[in-house]
Structure 1
Amino acid sequence: MTDTLTEITRADVCVAAVADCFRGDGEIIGSPMGTIPTIGARVARATFEPDLVLSNGESLFFEGTHRLGAKPDEFAAVGWIPYRQVLDVLASGRRHVMMGPVQIDKHGNANISAIGDWAKPKRQVLGSRGGPGNTINHTTSYWIPKHSSRVLTAKVDMVSCVGYDRAAEVGAAGRFHEVRRVVTNLAVLDFVSVDGAPAVMRLASVHPGVTVDEVVANTGFELVVPADVPETRLPTEEELRLIREVVDPRGMRLREVPA
């Protein structure tokens, strides 16, 4: 261990946890949305998941690893995927998207559309857009920069993204459905089926310096809490180098999760 590892920030830990969401995916399209998800996906491909296919967030696939905000002439584009082709790939299950919900419940039903009554919401957000198709057709993970009971809530105001209870109702149409993980600024959560019922959210690990009680107190529903909850792993020295020197030298991740 070097002195560098003693200076690891919570944001660095979150990036490594996001990267681990893509572990084992192989040659599929990774679609991270947001700063820390984008950093995590690029770190994953640069280290343990080299076959992961990443785009610039629009229509170009790229090779190598480059910084956030790079212009097209700063990276090597190796492919083009028009929107109509995205839909074909989506339906095949060969995609893993990471989104940021404004609300999510214990089964992984998520809201990215509106807060309050959908007919007259108190606050309009992004809109469901591709959420229903994404979540029923391929793997989905979520990134939540501020873990609170307002976000991890007993009931979402609108179901924009399909959770395990609703996916169970559609039979074979939901064969590619998987809500893999939820990474927050406090913890990593996954899903487990209890007594054959639709899967519910479980506390998989707590970040260094966070307690189980802190996570439970900031969650608006009952989590499955194992008897022994591990600590989220620290990024390796190589991952730290990629995070700090290659992908995010300007420290954009610290705006989402302050040190």
Structure 2
Amino acid sequence: MSDAGTTTVTRAEYCVVACAEAWRGAGEVLASPMGTVPTAGARLARLTFSPGLLLTDGEALLMADVPAVGARAEVVEGWLPYRQHLALVASGRRHVMMGASQIDRWGNQNISCIGDWARPERQLLGVRGAPVNTLNNPTSYWVPRHSPRVFVERVDMVCGVGYDRAAAAGPSATRYHRVPEVISDLGVFDFETPDHAMRLRSVHPGVTVEQVVAATGFPLVVPDEVPFTRDPTAEELRLIREVVDPAGARDREVRS
């Protein structure tokens, strides 16, 4: 935990703010968060610095209001059937924040299996929409438990396409490919380096650079000065606690 002003801010709340920042200035695009903390982050962004952000109920409706995590929308502004959802993906008017069972230094993501895909040790979700997401619209990642088992030298199967594989595939793959951020319970990462290798952008208060490096299974790009993830404002903290997630679901996803 850390003190922002006179109020103690939890690690989960820093993660919510970091996720919200991924949609800063996004304009009228569809936010597709996967996980409690990213969902809270998208709703916080909509209520503050990204009022044009489109939010869905996760099924087929666009929400005009911003209900608490786990609650149903009371005001609906549009219908979003599957075919229209795919049109938003293909046109790049969507920023998804997916999970990652494994992710490597170039942003390749795996949610399908652990071990050889022909005979995996663990069967996971499957590829799902990860390839289409990463080649058509911005795709960020949320990892609630940062460890060398997740941040790996080489993913066992590529689901979400990273910068090295997109480059190898050529212009048809790189044209709309962008992995803006990876956010974990330890810090925020991006790929703003000459070769698009993962860089540590900030650590959450209470976390050291050494902790992050030790919990990562490949060499991170670490700047000489690594800032802390920004503090929430008093209004953002009120919105998180009273409006977006009054039940405290965020604390079940991220340990303080």
TM-score tier after normalising by the smaller chain length: over 0.9
Q: Deviations over 1:51-96 (max 9, x none)?
A: 011101111000122111113xx52111011111111111111110
* Distance (Å, rounded) in 2 between the aligned partners of 1:3 and 1:188: 19
Instruction: Please name the residue that 2:17 is paired with.
Output: 16
Q: Following TM superposition, by how much is the alpha carbon of 1:13 offset from its aligned partner in structure 2, in angstroms?
A: 0.3
Q: Following TM superposition, by how much is the alpha carbon of 1:200 offset from its aligned partner in structure 2, in angstroms?
A: 0.8
Give the number of equivalent residue pairs. 253
For residues 117-136 of structure 1, the aligned pairs below 5 Å read 117-136=116-135
* Distance (Å, rounded) in 2 between the aligned partners of 1:46 and 1:5: 23
Matched, 1:53 2:54: yes
* Distance (Å, rounded) in 2 between the aligned partners of 1:169 and 1:52: 33
Instruction: Please name the residue that 2:70 is paired with.
Output: 69
Q: Following TM superposition, by how much is the alpha carbon of 1:170 offset from its aligned partner in structure 2, in angstroms?
A: 3.0
Q: What amino acid is aligned across from residue 20 of structure 2 in structure 1?
A: A
Q: Following TM superposition, by how much is the alpha carbon of 1:142 offset from its aligned partner in structure 2, in angstroms?
A: 0.5
Preserved contact between residue 138 and residue 178 of structure 2 (Cα < 8 Å)? yes
* Distance (Å, rounded) in 1 between the aligned partners of 2:82 and 2:238: 34
Q: What amino acid is aligned across from residue 36 of structure 1 in structure 2?
A: V
For residues 1-259 of structure 1, the aligned pairs below 5 Å read 5-71=6-72, 74-173=73-172, 174-194=174-194, 197=195, 199-259=196-256
Q: What amino acid is aligned across from residue 145 of structure 2 in structure 1?
A: K
Where does structure 1 lack aligned partners over 5 or more consecutive residues? none
Q: 1:5 to 1:57 in 2, by over 3 A?
A: farther
* Distance (Å, rounded) in 1 between the aligned partners of 2:108 and 2:19: 19
What is the root-mean-square deviation in Å for CA atoms of aligned residues? 1.3
Shifted more, 185-194 versus 216-225: the winner is 185-194
Residue 246 of structure 2: SS of its match in structure 1? Answer: coil
Q: Identity of aligned pairs, percent?
A: 58
* Distance (Å, rounded) in 2 between the aligned partners of 1:89 and 1:15: 25
Q: TM-score, normalised by structure 2?
A: 0.96
Q: What amino acid is aligned across from residue 185 of structure 2 in structure 1?
A: N
